[in-house]
Amino acid sequence: MKILVTGFDPFGGEPINPALEAVKALPDNILGAEVIKLEIPTVFGKSAEVVKSAILAEKPDVVLAIGQAGGRFSITPERIAINVDDARIPDNEGNQPIDVPIQADGAAAYFTQLPIKAMVKQIKEAGYPAALSNSAGVFVCNHIMYQVLYLIDKEFPNMKGGFIHVPFIASQVVNKPNQPYMSLTDITASLEKAIEAIVLFDDKEDLKTIEGTTH
């Protein structure tokens, strides 16, 4: 099994993106699966082109994209990506699409094929905070998750794809009072656990644990 794991470069004025640093620190092999690591730009459109080139070159079984979600308290595997870009801030090349569909012939939304509930359980059992997320937002992270799932729908039906958001690390919140953070070591270990679940559940249905929230 081959897993392509991507990490976004820093954006929004941050000097570091913990997603990218954690991806770089992952082992090259997890439970027998080969882990290919790829840095991608926080840029609408271009990020998807870089991922598509890597898919064609590497022919992975799974594409797992990782991004920073400042303000979140835990590692959050994403359930769904929606067909819209609605940027709060410009991306790293100054693009700021507002209410623009990502793919004219794409579905309104795509669900991940990854075992998100098993991933949450595997991370929590290792002692790290994790929770299922039902929105990857409307910035470049939702964009890349949508683009990967669109490619799976249209061109690579045997591949699986998904996304995990990670919190800030301590150095990013020094001047941001009351912002949650995790250590880079713990984020990396959590991603390793999530990938373990992907490998262990490759030919199994996802768990049916209760992950619903109040609303």
Give the interface segment with ligand PCA, choosing from 52-60, 95-103, 139-147, 177-185 (CB under 6 A): 139-147
Under rule CB under 6 A, residue 141 binds ligand PCA: yes
Reply yes or no on whether 192 is catalytic.
Answer: no
Do 78 and 163 contact (CB within 8 A), yes or no? yes
28 vs 36: CA distance, rounded Å: 7
3-state class (DSSP) for residue 23: helix
Could you tell me the smallest distance in angstroms from the CB atom of residue 138 to ligand PCA?
Answer: 8
The catalytic position among 14, 21, 78, 155 is 78
Could you tell me the smallest distance in angstroms from the CB atom of residue 166 to ligand PCA?
Answer: 8
Under rule CB under 6 A, residue 11 binds ligand PCA: yes
Reply yes or no on whether 141 is catalytic.
Answer: yes
Query: CB atoms < 10 A from the CB of 56, how many?
Result: 10
Structure tokens at 89: 């801030």
Under rule CB under 6 A, residue 162 binds ligand PCA: no
Do 161 and 148 contact (CB within 8 A), yes or no? yes
94 vs 44: CA distance, rounded Å: 10
H helical segments located in the chain: 18-25, 46-58, 116-125, 140-154, 184-200
Do 42 and 20 contact (CB within 8 A), yes or no? no
Do 188 and 26 contact (CB within 8 A), yes or no? yes
Find the binder of ligand PCA among 6, 68, 122, 188 (CB under 6 A): 68
The catalytic position among 143, 165, 192, 196 is 165
Under rule CB under 6 A, residue 38 binds ligand PCA: no
Reply yes or no on whether 143 is catalytic.
Answer: no
The catalytic position among 14, 34, 125, 141 is 141
Find the binder of ligand PCA among 6, 17, 74, 83 (CB under 6 A): 17
Could you tell me the smallest distance in angstroms from the CB atom of residue 78 to ligand PCA?
Answer: 10
Give the interface segment with ligand PCA, choosing from 94-102, 138-146, 147-155, 169-177 (CB under 6 A): 138-146
| Nearest of 99, 71, 79 to residue 145 by alpha carbon | 79
How far apart are the two ends of the chain, measured CA to CA in Å? 37
Could you tell me the smallest distance in angstroms from the CB atom of residue 122 to ligand PCA?
Answer: 22
Name the residues that contact ligand PCA, by CB under 6 A: 8, 11, 17, 19, 42, 67-69, 137, 139-141
Q: Which residues are known catalytic residues?
A: 78, 141, 165
